[in-house]
Amino acid sequence: MNGAAAALAVLAVLLASGAAGAPAHYTPRVGDGFVYTETVTVTNGTGTYDGYTETTYVNGSIEVDAVAPNGSVTGAYDNTDHYVNNSRGNYNFSASGMFFFDAANFSYLYGTTDNQTGYTNPAVWFWANNSLPVGGHFYDLDTEMTVTSIDADYHLGTAAGDYVRALAATGSGEYLRDDSYGKFNASYDWSSFYDNGTGYILGYRYVETDSDGRGDGFTYTDRLAVTMTTYSLTAAPVPAAASPSPFSPELIALLVVLVIVVVVVVIALALRNRRGRPLPKHSATGQPSFVAPPPGAGVPPVRLTPSGEPAVQQIVVHETIKVKCTYCGGLIDAAATQCPFCGAART
């Protein structure tokens, strides 16, 4: 072997050893799964959306049912949603089913998704490459994300844990919204956190601003947090700045209740001293409880006792009126025709 060939051989060995030593990302396993809560809000409306708000509450789950030798993963999703808005909209709906994704490139397979719409060949949103370094890139749906930390202390704040180790990533983008909300230019920022042991989602915060250039617009915010996982998360210490309060949650709640009670009592006393009696309430229909009778109908009689009960016996006391006699000045009954003192006739 000549010198050039030997050098190439050594380089090949070094490259092979380097490739062999490169960390591999986590591969999904049957039984992997998590439960999450999600809150989606529309606020900060302008123009035709001025004053409008809506909220969707989601309880969902993702689980791995099968992993094929070729890397195809069979997943199942389930979610129940509750939607309300300030225009008296109130709806409940749910969705569930199966989908497939590729364990090698993190993308959905065979045109299936976990009920994601509006995307073409998207990457999965709930799983990321946990072997990426800081500055590495991957896709969440169709947004390119950049890894900002591989050892972040993430405050999960749910039953799944408190502070946990996480891979953190951010992304942003713009698109043209054209749906039931209308046509808007949308721009967004996305912050996501993933379990650095498996790459599965821990939580995210997505904030989108929509405007149409004519004064109409709103803010669309989506927050998600995992509440239960079938795999263990790595606990992280509570940061010093986030040390627990010296007061217990129960004591704080009690103090809040006491403050509210005191405020209510003070307001009630102030109102009572301000007016002699409370204002009359209106009927359930919003109309005054008393309506004047039509002309000619007369005023209904006053009922002194409830219907069906015997009438209360009434005692009438007659009062005698006295007047002075014009002759002798004595006080006599106004109904008398003659003074009992002087005998003079009353005129």
Nearest Cα neighbor of 202 from 221, 228, 222 is 228
Q: Sorting pLDDT into bands at 50, 70 and 90, what band is 248?
A: low
pLDDT score, position 337: 76
In this predicted structure, the answer to whether residue 305 has a pLDDT above a threshold of 90 is no
Q: How many CA atoms lie within 13 A of 158 on its CB side?
A: 17
Q: Sorting pLDDT into bands at 50, 70 and 90, what band is 34?
A: very high
In this predicted structure, the answer to whether residue 308 has a pLDDT above a threshold of 80 is no
**Bridge partners (DSSP) listed for residue 100:** 74, 109
Q: Which fold has domain 26-235?
A: Lipovitellin-phosvitin complex; beta-sheet shell regions (2.30.230)
DSSP notation for 23-84: PPPP---TT-EEEEEEEEEEEEEEGGGTT--EEEEEEEEEEEEEE-TTSEEEEEEEEEEEEE
pLDDT score, position 338: 77
Rounded Cα–Cα distance for residues 257 and 103 (Å): 51
- For residue 224, the one-letter residue type is L
User: Beta-strand (E) ranges in the chain?
Assistant: 33-46, 54-67, 72-85, 90-102, 108-109, 137-140, 143-158, 161-179, 182-195, 201-211, 217-229, 322-324, 331-333
Q: What's the whole-number mean pLDDT along residues 51-56?
A: 96
What dihedral angle (degrees, nearest 10) is formed by the CA atoms of 80, 85, 91, 94?
A: -20
Q: What's the whole-number mean pLDDT along residues 222-243?
A: 86
In this predicted structure, the answer to whether residue 52 has a pLDDT above a threshold of 60 is yes
In this predicted structure, the answer to whether residue 309 has a pLDDT above a threshold of 50 is no
pLDDT score, position 347: 63
pLDDT score, position 240: 73
Q: Where are the domains of the chain?
A: 26-235, 321-347
In this predicted structure, the answer to whether residue 279 has a pLDDT above a threshold of 50 is no
